[in-house]
Amino acid sequence: MFKRILIKGIKLPVKRIVSMAMCVLLALSAAALPVGCVKKENDAKKESGAASVLLSTVGASLQTKKKKFGKDFSKSTVNFMYDVFKNGLTEGENSLVSPLSVLIALAMTENGAEGETLEKMRSVISNGMDTETLNEYLALYLSSLPNSEYAKLNIANSVWFREAPEVFASGGKQLFTPNEAFLKKNADHYGADIFASPFDEGTVKAINGWVNEKTEGTIDEIIKEISSDSIMCLINALLFEAEWHEKYLDVSVSEGTFTSIGGEERKAQMMHAGDYNYIENADFTGFMRGYADPRFGFIALLPKEGEDLYECINRLTGEELVNMIENIEYRQVQSAIPKFAFDYEIDLKQTLMNMGMGIAFDPNAAQFGGVGTCEFGNIYIGKVLHKTHIEVDQRGTKAGAVTSVEMMCGSAFTTEEIKEVVLDRPFVFAIYDFEANIPVFIGTVTDIG
């Protein structure tokens, strides 16, 4: 079923899932905004083409305005990206976050923030960058994604909001009314699909189905239930898949030993190669291994002998990470990577509060008037759920991530020596975008058992 409304003279389709609960999700697809009357499916399909034209027009104008990312985008966001990883670690376990996914989900949310809440979110997320500038950078990023048989980065966004007047209305008045300007901005800049739903068990299934589809099965579920005071969910789904520039031959793979963070020795399938991208600072030695698309690279950082993994991570900053990568040496390095695969999930609420965004989670103090109006309390962020999956093997890498922001309403080269970096003990890794100069994923491998 499709619902339509007129916004600033542009009619855009909005999918209405009758058996779903209200939730706002981020998705990279045709823009959709809430509209007034129910349309037949064939009519809705025709109208979705108009929405696609709107998005491509927006993307084209942004590309004309900003042909290159420059360093402003990286400088403004990389510390946030690294800090999300650092503060979201679970010590002793394999960990993986996609700071890019988190950034996009929160940037969408920031479009509805006001006052001190807006100031804090800007300060934490983008070092004070103006919201509209951040929107433009991320829209440009979304319009530049590769999608080939060798490498792809797919990003989808969607917004789901509660619409259940038969339950949540008083005197014929809808208790939560989304701000059309907020929805339109997220559709224009982020290609967000907008879904109106009653936020019931059917909505949970629909959201998880959307996530499973957009991540091609790497993440099959992001939520288990929807709280009775939830009014909106903003969701970003991200899928990265790329082949190595030089795949590992069978003769390059041998059995080895990986020593876990707890001291246990594990059998591992080690993939050996000779590379020419060496990385080193006071705490780490490492290397970069390229993918078929030179825009991306796999960064591996191994703490120097005797150094503690987490102490090294805590001493590093986002700016220092970028500096290390910008100063990769063209020096031969014999590398070895273990095959690995794992899943990770975390609620980033406490992490973001510790980073300075506490007011956004305060039921009484948060200011999200730009999101909409709620008749039974103040609007605030209740949860920021993040889930990831990664597989690294001879062929390449596949990784997926989903971030859900749940809004609630209620009260309160050289001839020098050949270097060797063998990842046979806990290490840090990242999938890095060299064009935008930002990490798409950052994680730790502490065990492969």
Strand partners, 103: none
Question: Is the confidence at residue 185, as pLDDT, over 80?
Answer: yes
The whole-model pTM stands at: 0.85
Q: What is the pLDDT of residue 68?
A: 59
| Percent share of the chain, pLDDT over 90 | 73
Residue closest to 240 by CA, chosen among 222, 269, 214, 220: 214
Q: What Rg value do the Cα atoms of the chain yield, rounded?
A: 23
- The 10s digit of each residue's pLDDT in 202-246 is 999 999 999 999 999 999 999 999 988 899 999 999 999 999 999
- The 10s digit of each residue's pLDDT in 274-289 is 988 999 999 999 999 9
354 Cβ neighbours under 8 A, 6+ residues apart: 87
244-340+414-445: CATH, from 1.10.1040.10, 2.40.50.140, 3.30.70.260, 2.30.39.10: 2.30.39.10
Collapsing DSSP states into helix, strand and coil, what is residue 59?
Answer: helix
Strand partners, 193: 158
DSSP alpha helices (H): ranges in 328-407?
Answer: 349-352
Question: Is the confidence at residue 83, as pLDDT, over 80?
Answer: yes
Beta strands in 325-377 (DSSP E): 333-338, 340-347, 372-374
- The 10s digit of each residue's pLDDT in 150-176 is 999 999 999 999 985 444 444 445 678
Question: How is 284-336 classified by DSSP, letter by letter?
Answer: EEEEEEEBSSTTEEEEEEEEPTT--HHHHHHH--HHHHHHHHHT-B---EEEE
Q: What is the pLDDT of residue 300?
A: 97
Q: Which H or E run contains 52?
A: helix 41-65
DSSP alpha helices (H): ranges in 191-298?
Answer: 201-214
Residue closest to 158 by CA, chosen among 182, 185, 180, 191: 191
CATH architecture entry for 2-242+344-410: 2-Layer Sandwich (3.30)
Residue closest to 369 by CA, chosen among 111, 112, 174: 112
- From edge to edge, which strands make up the β-sheet containing 284-290? 95-97, 438-445, 427-433, 296-303, 284-290, 278-280
- From edge to edge, which strands make up the β-sheet containing 10-16? 38-39, 2-7, 10-16, 193-197, 151-162, 230-243, 396-410, 378-392, 340-347
Residue type, 374: C
Using CA atoms, how far apart are residues 134 and 113, in angstroms rounded to an integer?
14
Residue 54 CB coordination number (10 Å): 19
- The 10s digit of each residue's pLDDT in 355-373 is 999 999 999 999 999 999 9
Collapsing DSSP states into helix, strand and coil, what is residue 330?
Answer: coil
Mean confidence (pLDDT) of the chain: 83
- The 10s digit of each residue's pLDDT in 2-45 is 232 233 333 343 443 322 222 332 222 222 233 222 222 233 23
Question: Is the confidence at residue 412, as pLDDT, over 70?
Answer: no
Strand partners, 302: 285
Q: What is the mean pLDDT of residues 259-285?
A: 95
Q: Residue 417 — pLDDT band, cuts 50, 70, 90?
A: confident
In the chain, domain spans: 2-242+344-410, 244-340+414-445
Tokens describing residue 179: 């701000």
Residue type, 287: F
CB burial class (10 A; 0-12, 13-18, 19+) of residue 243?
middle
Question: Do 360 and 120 contact (CB within 8 A), yes or no?
Answer: yes
Using CA atoms, how far apart are residues 388 and 398, in angstroms rounded to an integer?
11
Residue with tokens 């030695």, as numbered in its chain: 285
